[in-house]
Structure 1
Amino acid sequence: MSQTTRITEKGQATIPKALREKYDLEPGDEVLWLDTDEGIVVKKRTRTGGRGLLVPDETPTETRAAIGRELAKRLRTRRDHDY
Structure 2
Amino acid sequence: MSKVTSKGQVTIPKPIREELGIDPGDEIEFVETERGYAIEKRVDENPFEKWRGVADTSESVEERMADLRGERE
* 1:13-62 Cα deviation digits (max 9, x unpaired): 011001111111101111110122210111111112398xxxxxxxxxxx
Structure 2: 5+ residue runs without aligned partners?
49-73
RMSD over aligned Cα atoms: 1.9
- TM-score using structure 1 length: 0.51
Match of 2:2 among 1, 5, 29: 5
**Identical pairs, percent:** 38
Give 4+ residue runs of structure 1 displaced > 6 Å after superposition.
Answer: none
> Partner residue of 2:34?
37
Decide which of 46, 49, 55 is 1:49's aligned counterpart.
Answer: 46
Q: Comparing both structures, which one devotes a greater share of its residues to helix?
A: 1
The CA deviation at 1:10 is: 0.3
Matching of residues 3-82 of structure 1 within 5 Å: 4-49=1-46
Paired with 1:50 and 1:20, the residues of 2 have a C-alpha distance of 19
- Structure 1 alignment gaps of length 5 or more: 52-83
Structure-2-length-normalised TM-score: 0.58
Matches of 1:25 and 1:36, distance apart in 2: 21
Number of equivalent positions:
48
